[in-house]
Amino acid sequence: MRAMAPVVLTFPHPLYAEMVTHVLSNPAQEMCGLLAGRAGVVDRMWPVPNALQSPVAYRMDGPEFAAAMIGCDFEPLGIFHSHPAGPTGPSPTDIAEAAYPDSIYVVISLQTLPPSVRAFTIVEGQVEEVPMDILT
């Protein structure tokens, strides 16, 4: 287990664009997935179907989630999901259900164009924003 989340979450532009494209592929539902990498640099992204198929909640399970967790060595660098009509940060449900204190939670709000993409740590109910850097 990592001791602490990185100070900055860094995305290569193609992976960042792929994540946002995945979220926008069904803007009426919360979309989700996992991010892998080291030292705060994302090097892999796995879209995972939202088992709840809901506009206000998400849950990852099934074979796609298992494959993504294996790809992350069971330690995701980040977990991303969208808020079709929700806040630009973690919702009360997101905070209550945050189960990976060493991971960064990326929230993509579709309330703005372009979408708002922000990153956070959530540890024991405490939320802290993590700066992001998108490499071109």
- Residues labelled catalytic: 30
CA 83, CA 116: separation in Å to the nearest integer? 10
Is residue 4 within 8 Å of 18, Cβ to Cβ?
Answer: no
Picking from 44, 102, 49, the residue whose alpha carbon sits closest to that of residue 71 is 44
